[in-house]
Structure 1
Amino acid sequence: MELQGICHKMHAGLKNLSVTDQQTHKANVEYKFILDRSEVDLPFNLGQEIEIEATGNIYCISCGTKTPKSYSQGHCFKCMKTKASCDMCIMKPETCHYHLGTCREDSFAHEVCFQPHIVYLANSSALKVGITRLGQMPTRWLDQGATQALPIMKVGSRRLSGQLEVMFGTQVADKTDWRKLLKGEAEPVNLIEIRDQLIEDFAPKIQSIRDEFSQHLEFNETVELLETELPREFVYPVDEYPEKIKSHNLDKTPVIRGKLQGIKGQYLILDTGVINIRKYTGYELKIRI
């Protein structure tokens, strides 16, 4: 069997959702490939030998232009320099500059940046704090390979969520160690206890940020504590984790082969190494059993 098309990040969804001990939502994670913007059931199972080939063709996921190199996860150079979705404030939301009148695209700001956002705690390679749009739960956690997650705040804008993330980041990491992520499951932590302690420790600063953003009434930039949310737990389809991490690079080795041992985050775990599928957004790939 062979599939061919323009690669996008895998779609991760949940199945077999359950509530354990009335305190935690737990679910298994399942994946679909996205080729040419259409969902495709994974054409292979754990334990099967697969081959992935990069044809050498790369296309911008925004304008469709063929490009010699991919920028900002699938864009051509022109779109990377002009699209709001490629601006630095996407990586660092606290630097959002819409209020300064310098946003690249007003429509993008209203469709994305001024939508409700969630500040959350997650456990991927270790405890971390992060943000995501309300509609991106649980996708954001699954893309990061989190085994536990807990929403702790709902806010009115991306910049506001970024300010809170930076604040919590002085005490909790905001990055995931991808190598540690792929070596096994993170040690479980009590997210509710951690949430309650953080809210107590940062209460004065949270109020200060609330006061600052309450001046922007036109954007409804409010802060709501999510004190009744339950933690989520996720189980990924992994038979075996590697002892040593070797990363495949399709730019250097266009054809890779191996037995599929697992999928976690946006990584395929093969017995020959791991590959980050999201990294190759915009690449034309051939996938064979």
Structure 2
Amino acid sequence: MTYQGVLTKMESEFLEPIQYYLVFENDFININQLLEKRITLEFVVYQCLNCGLNKPIFRQGFCKSCFFDIPQAADWIMRPELSTAHLDQEDRDLEYEKKVQLQPHIVYLANSSNVKVGVTRKSQVPTRWIDQGAHEAIEIVEVPNRYLAGITEVALKEHVSDKTNWRNMLKNDIQDEDLVAWRERLKSYIPEEAHDYYIANNTETNLVFPVDKYPEKPKSLNLVKEKQYSGKLVGIKGQYLIFDDDRVFNIRSNEGLVIGLSL
């Protein structure tokens, strides 16, 4: 059986374990059902997620010209403190920016390879934590716009990491942390503008990923370079497919590739 379509990040369901779905234009696959099966991935062409053209992907699933033009790839996406919609100031497309920036956002702590601080729209909890491969997470503040979340993250990352070590996350080289205690320790560093939005009474969320075998030395699969790869799928964590030879394939970083997947 063969499927073909353009890669976008896997959809997920917050169950135990997490359920993952690869969604194509006219089909979808429950990836959990492929565990312990040998699958073949093949690179076909590029397809920019914005213009749809067969042009090399630059970042985030977009070709280079689209990346530097469309609001979905503006700097405030990765650096929320640069958001300006709350000031009625346009970056690339004010209507889009208001739609995304002027909604409730969460600043959170997640533990994937280590405790890190992050920002996401409230509507993306717990999806954001699943995508990062976090086995535990907790909300710190809930603010009404992206800017306030951004400046809170900037302040807190002076005292806690804002990065994930993807290799340690995939090796499951992690330890449990008391995220409530972390939240309490970081409270005093929250900017004054966001202090009233501090969440004082919540508990951490735990996540279980469908992994039968963790890689000892994860090696990233470059499908564009190799063109085709076959291996037995032994796990899914974050946005990674994990194979029995320690190869791992990051779906998120390969968005915009048209691939063939055969069983």
TM over 0.5: yes
Are 1:47 and 2:36 matched, yes or no?
A: yes
Instruction: Return the letter of the residue paired with 2:226.
Output: T
Structure 1 range deviating more: 278-287 or 39-48: 39-48
Match of 2:133 in 1: 145
Q: Distance in 2 between matches of 1:166 and 1:96?
A: 13
8 Å contact from structure 1 (residues 156, 223) kept in 2: no
In the TM superposition, what is the alpha-carbon distance from 1:72 to its structure 2 partner? 2.4
Partner of 2:93: 105
- Any unmatched runs of 5+ in structure 2? none
Q: 1:60 to 1:78 in 2, by over 3 A?
A: same
Q: How many pairs align?
A: 261
How many Å separate the matches in 1 of 2:25 and 2:196?
39
Matched AA of 2:230: R
User: Which has the greater radius of gyration?
Assistant: 1
Q: Are 1:93 and 2:80 matched, yes or no?
A: yes
Counterpart-to-counterpart distance in 2, 1:135 and 1:44: 27
Provide the rounded CA distance (Å) in 1 between the counterparts of 2:72 and 2:196.
24
Partner residue, 1:71 = 58
1:142-162 Cα shifts (integer Å, max 9, x gaps): 000000010111001111101
Report the Cα distance in structure 2 between the residues aligned to 1:78 and 1:9, rounded to whole angstroms.
21
What CA RMSD, in Å, does the superposition of the two structures yield over aligned residues?
Answer: 1.8
Is 1:275 equivalent to 2:238 in the alignment?
A: no
SS in 2 for 1:240: coil
The equivalent of 2:2 in structure 1 is 2
In 2, distance between residues paired with 1:94 and 1:37? 38
Q: Give the TM-score, by structure 2 length.
A: 0.93
Matched with 2:191 is 206
CA contact (8 A) 2:90 2:97 kept: no
1:126-181 Cα offsets, whole Å, 9 max, x none, are 10110100100111000000000101110011111010001110111001000111
TM-score scaled to structure 1, two decimals? 0.85
Report the residue type matching 2:203 in the other structure.
L
| Structure 1 SS opposite 2:197 | strand
CA distance in 1, matches of 2:180, 2:138: 8
- The correspondence of residues 175-214 of structure 1 with structure 2, limited to 5 A, is 175-184=163-172, 186-199=174-187, 201-202=188-189, 206-207=191-192, 209-210=193-194
Task: Tell me if structure 2 keeps the 8 A contact 1:44–1:50.
Answer: no
Q: After the TM superposition, which residues 120-131 of structure 1 pair with which residues of structure 2 at under 5 Å, given as runs?
A: 120-131=108-119
Question: Helix, strand or coil: the match of 2:9?
Answer: strand
Q: Match for 1:36 among 25, 42, 64?
A: 25
Aligned to 1:215: none
- Secondary structure of 1:164 counterpart: helix
> Does 1:161 find its partner at 2:164?
no
Structure 1: runs of 5+ lacking an equivalent: 16-26, 211-221
SS of alignment partner, residue 40 of structure 1? strand
Q: Percent identity?
A: 37
Equivalent-residue separation in structure 1 for 2:157 and 2:122 (angstroms): 20
> Which SS does the other structure have where 2:68 is aligned?
helix
